[in-house]
Amino acid sequence: MPLATMKAIRLTAIGRPLERQEVLPRKAGAGELLVRVRAAGICHSDAHYRSGLSPMGALPITLGHEIAGVVENVGPGVATHAVGDRVCLHYLVTCGDCAACRRGLETWCERGAMLGHHVDGGFAEAITVPARNAVPLPASIPFEHGAVLMCSSATALHALRKGRLEAGERVAIFGSGGLGVSAVQLARALGAREVFAVDIRAEKLALAGSLGAIAVDAARGDPVAQLMEMTGGAGIDVALDFVGSPAVMRQAVRCLAPRGRAVLVALSDQKLELDPYREILGREAELIGSNDHTLAEITEVIELVQRGALDLSPAVTATVPLDAVAINGVLDALEQGRAGVRTVVLP
């Protein structure tokens, strides 16, 4: 049954706690769906939106871009979905028609808008989205896993693809948060010979270890030296940085084997210094940027979850209700670096 008004947790001013507001859900227009939100992940990006570190458009806006739910209403002309379908939502709404979209570079769509960043997101009872953003979620995958895989897992897969990981290669993953937990498992599913997880927190290293990674405790000394020793001096073929500090980015470059690829995923606004000969060209190393993921990669991630190659249970560490105080508390914890891997809102 369509909602009259609904509860939404919204950013009303930069630097202020999110607030509960009653809003009217937007009716599904042509080609759109109204989706009842069943799970919405709370991401580190949401803390950046609240603080203003990432620029925002018009306020107020409902945050939340990691969304899974059930189709409640189908707009005119939609033949691909039916009421009651379980879906998870690709957070980038694209036009499908500009030069970038036509080249398959949807991330750079001229009219692209991100759910929970540029348009209302999933910290609400329902959300209206284009039908092509709704990916079928198999019944075997819980909604909270469906929500989380839309951001961190798909982004981790994209980063491994950007690093051109081949079976038999060695991978190092710097940072074992939400992305790292997925990246460890995905690298193994893609046939990596060894996956090293580098972190400074014992509980994160233990978690990565339980997923099949070889733990490298950076609190105990230079992780580059440890990686070189653990690989018999060979080094790493693909290193992913999920930390976002120049010091760690440089470690991801310095640990590379000849022709190795370092992929930067986490943001930083600080300068990165490298030694061009010893760290890059002398070894034909590559420094690669990775941003977001594509709709097609989400389908791939769902298949990997169904096959049992990716277990998202360790990625969801807590749940909270659709409540402003609870969600603000999780954003505070993310800002202070004391949050678990992922907290999911269950409206």
Catalog residues that contact Zn ion under the rule CB under 5 A.
43, 45, 94-95, 98, 101, 109, 151
Structure tokens belonging to residue 7: 């509860």
Least Å from the CB of residue 12 to Zn ion:
21
CB 180 within 8 A of CB 204: yes
Least Å from the CB of residue 106 to Zn ion:
7
Least Å from the CB of residue 165 to Zn ion:
22
Question: Quick count: other Cβ atoms within 10 Å of Cβ 73?
Answer: 19
What is each CA distance from 346 to 92, 149, 172, 325, in whole angstroms?
A: 22, 16, 33, 14
CA distance 309 to 186: 7
Closest-CB residue for Zn ion? Answer: 43
Least Å from the CB of residue 111 to Zn ion:
5
Q: Which is nearer to Zn ion, 89 or 101 (CB)?
A: 101
Q: Which is nearer to Zn ion, 151 or 266 (CB)?
A: 151
Q: Which is nearer to Zn ion, 308 or 337 (CB)?
A: 337
Q: Which is nearer to Zn ion, 98 or 346 (CB)?
A: 98
Structure tokens belonging to residue 247: 């010091």
Q: Which residues contact 315 (CB under 8 A, 6 or more apart)?
A: 145, 148, 152, 153, 178, 181, 182, 341, 342
Q: Which is nearer to Zn ion, 151 or 238 (CB)?
A: 151
Q: Which is nearer to Zn ion, 134 or 255 (CB)?
A: 134
Q: Which residues contact 86 (CB under 8 A, 6 or more apart)?
A: 68, 69, 70, 136, 137, 138, 139, 143, 146
Least Å from the CB of residue 280 to Zn ion:
30
Q: Which is nearer to Zn ion, 98 or 141 (CB)?
A: 98
CA distance 302 to 39: 16
CA distance 26 to 36: 12
Give the CA radius of gyration of the chain.
Answer: 20
Question: Quick count: other Cβ atoms within 10 Å of Cβ 30?
Answer: 10
Least Å from the CB of residue 112 to Zn ion:
6
Least Å from the CB of residue 148 to Zn ion:
9
If residue 146 lies in a helix (H) or strand (E), which one and from where to where?
helix 143-148
CB 288 within 8 A of CB 253: no
Q: Which is nearer to Zn ion, 63 or 211 (CB)?
A: 63
The helix-helix angle for 246-254 and 223-230 (nearest 10°) equals: 20
Least Å from the CB of residue 91 to Zn ion:
8
